[in-house]
Chains A and B, each alone.
Chain A
Amino acid sequence: MSVLRKRWQYVVLFVGLAALFLLPAYSSESTVSFVNRVLIAIVAVQGLNILTGYTGQISLGQAAFMTVGGYASTLLVTQLGWNFFFALPVAALSAGVVGLIFGLPSLRVKGFYLVMATLSAQFIIPWITRNIYGDILHGAQGLNVPVPIIKLPVINNLCFFGTQFDGELGACVYRFATSDQFIHISLVVVILSTIVAHNISRSRLGRALVSIRDNDLAAELLGIDPFAYKLKAFFIAAVFAGAAGAMLAHNLRHINSVTVNLTDSILFMGMLVVGGLGTSLGPIFGATLVILLEEIATVMSPWVISVLPDNAAGATAALRPLIFGLALIVFLIFEPRGLAHRWKLTKAAWRMRPFSR
Chain B
Amino acid sequence: MTPNSGLLAVRDVSLSFGGTAALTDVSFDVQEGEILAIIGPNGAGKTSMLNCISGFYRPQEGGIFFKSADLTKTPTHKIAPLGIARTFQNIALYTGLSTLDNIMAARHIHMRQRSVESMLYWGRAQREEVEHREVVEGIIDFLEIAHIRKSIVGALPYGLRKRVELGRALALESDLLLLDEPMTGMNVEEKEDMARFVLDIHEQRGVTVVLIEHDMGLVMDISDRVVVLDFGVKIAEGLPDEIKNDPQVIQAYLGEV
- Name the one of B86, B94, B113, B115 contacting A221, with C-beta atoms under 8 angstroms: B86
Asked if A222 is at the interface (CB within 8 A of a chain B CB), the reply is yes
B172 adjacent to A223 (CB under 8 Å): yes
A210 adjacent to B97 (CB under 8 Å): yes
B109 adjacent to A223 (CB under 8 Å): yes
A214 adjacent to B119 (CB under 8 Å): no
Contact with A along B119-158 (1 / 0, CB 8 A): 1110001001100000000000000000000000000000
Contact flag A199-B118 (CB < 8 Å), given A221-B54, A223-B81: yes
Looking at the assembled complex, report how far the CB atom of B35 sits from the nearest CB atom of chain A, in whole angstroms. 21
B108 adjacent to A222 (CB under 8 Å): yes
Looking at the assembled complex, report how far the CB atom of B124 sits from the nearest CB atom of chain A, in whole angstroms. 10
Contact flag A215-B113 (CB < 8 Å), given A207-B108, A220-B77, A222-B168: no
Chain B 34-91 residues near chain A, CB threshold 8 A: 54-56, 75-81, 85-86, 88
Asked if A196 is at the interface (CB within 8 A of a chain B CB), the reply is yes
B76 adjacent to A221 (CB under 8 Å): yes
Looking at the assembled complex, report how far the CB atom of B47 sits from the nearest CB atom of chain A, in whole angstroms. 13
Asked if B233 is at the interface (CB within 8 A of a chain A CB), the reply is no
B96 adjacent to A203 (CB under 8 Å): no
Looking at the assembled complex, report how far the CB atom of A164 sits from the nearest CB atom of chain B, in whole angstroms. 36
Looking at the assembled complex, report how far the CB atom of B118 sits from the nearest CB atom of chain A, in whole angstroms. 4
Q: Which of B98-106, B187-195, B212-220 contacts A (4 or more CB under 8 A)?
A: B98-106
**CA A74 – CA B193 in complex, angstroms?**
65
Q: Kindly report which residue of chain A lies nearest to residue B104, judged by CB atoms.
A: A207
Contact with B along A65-79 (1 / 0, CB 8 A): 000000000000000
Asked if B111 is at the interface (CB within 8 A of a chain A CB), the reply is yes
- Name the one of B54, B77, B88, B128 contacting A226, with C-beta atoms under 8 angstroms: B77
**CA A203 – CA B123 in complex, angstroms?**
12
**CA A215 – CA B96 in complex, angstroms?**
10
B105 adjacent to A208 (CB under 8 Å): yes
Looking at the assembled complex, report how far the CB atom of B223 sits from the nearest CB atom of chain A, in whole angstroms. 23
Asked if A206 is at the interface (CB within 8 A of a chain B CB), the reply is yes
- Name the one of A205, A210, A221 contacting B55, with C-beta atoms under 8 angstroms: A221
Contact flag A204-B108 (CB < 8 Å), given A211-B94, A218-B94, A222-B172: yes
Looking at the assembled complex, report how far the CB atom of B220 sits from the nearest CB atom of chain A, in whole angstroms. 29
Contact flag A210-B94 (CB < 8 Å), given A222-B80, A223-B80, A232-B115: yes
B80 adjacent to A204 (CB under 8 Å): no
Instruction: Count residues on chain A whose CB falls below 8 Å from chain B CBs.
Output: 28
Chain A 129-167 residues near chain B, CB threshold 8 A: none
Q: Kindly report which residue of chain B lies nearest to residue A207, judged by CB atoms.
A: B105
Asked if B248 is at the interface (CB within 8 A of a chain A CB), the reply is no
Contacts of A221 in B (CB 8 A): 54-56, 76-77, 79-80, 86
Point out which of A200, A219, A278 has the most chain B C-beta atoms below 10 A from its C-beta.
A219
**CA A76 – CA B66 in complex, angstroms?**
53
Contacts of B168 in A (CB 8 A): 222
Q: Kindly report which residue of chain A lies nearest to residue B121, judged by CB atoms.
A: A199
Q: Kindly report which residue of chain A lies nearest to residue B95, judged by CB atoms.
A: A214
Asked if A213 is at the interface (CB within 8 A of a chain B CB), the reply is yes
Asked if A349 is at the interface (CB within 8 A of a chain B CB), the reply is no
Contacts of B117 in A (CB 8 A): 203
Contact flag A278-B118 (CB < 8 Å), given A204-B111, A208-B105: no
A203 adjacent to B129 (CB under 8 Å): yes
B113 adjacent to A203 (CB under 8 Å): yes
Contact flag A196-B119 (CB < 8 Å), given A210-B94, A214-B94, A220-B76: yes
B92 adjacent to A218 (CB under 8 Å): yes
Asked if B93 is at the interface (CB within 8 A of a chain A CB), the reply is yes
Q: Kindly report which residue of chain B lies nearest to residue A208, judged by CB atoms.
A: B108
**CA A199 – CA B113 in complex, angstroms?**
13
**CA A226 – CA B115 in complex, angstroms?**
14
Contacts of A211 in B (CB 8 A): 94, 97, 105, 108
Asked if A29 is at the interface (CB within 8 A of a chain B CB), the reply is no
Looking at the assembled complex, report how far the CB atom of A58 sits from the nearest CB atom of chain B, in whole angstroms. 16
**CA A208 – CA B77 in complex, angstroms?**
12
Q: Kindly report which residue of chain A lies nearest to residue B168, judged by CB atoms.
A: A222
**CA A226 – CA B95 in complex, angstroms?**
17
Chain A 35-56 residues near chain B, CB threshold 8 A: none
Looking at the assembled complex, report how far the CB atom of B82 sits from the nearest CB atom of chain A, in whole angstroms. 9
Contacts of B104 in A (CB 8 A): 207
A199 adjacent to B94 (CB under 8 Å): no
B95 adjacent to A215 (CB under 8 Å): yes
Asked if A225 is at the interface (CB within 8 A of a chain B CB), the reply is yes
Contact with A along B17-43 (1 / 0, CB 8 A): 000000000000000000000000000
Q: Kindly report which residue of chain B lies nearest to residue A277, judged by CB atoms.
A: B96
**CA A204 – CA B93 in complex, angstroms?**
17
**CA A199 – CA B119 in complex, angstroms?**
5
Looking at the assembled complex, report how far the CB atom of A236 sits from the nearest CB atom of chain B, in whole angstroms. 8
B105 adjacent to A210 (CB under 8 Å): yes
Asked if A202 is at the interface (CB within 8 A of a chain B CB), the reply is yes
Asked if A217 is at the interface (CB within 8 A of a chain B CB), the reply is yes
Chain A 218-257 residues near chain B, CB threshold 8 A: 218-226, 232, 236
B92 adjacent to A217 (CB under 8 Å): yes
**CA A204 – CA B105 in complex, angstroms?**
7
**CA A165 – CA B105 in complex, angstroms?**
55
* 5 A-B residue pairings within 8 Å (CB atoms): A199-B119, A205-B119, A215-B92, A222-B109, A222-B172
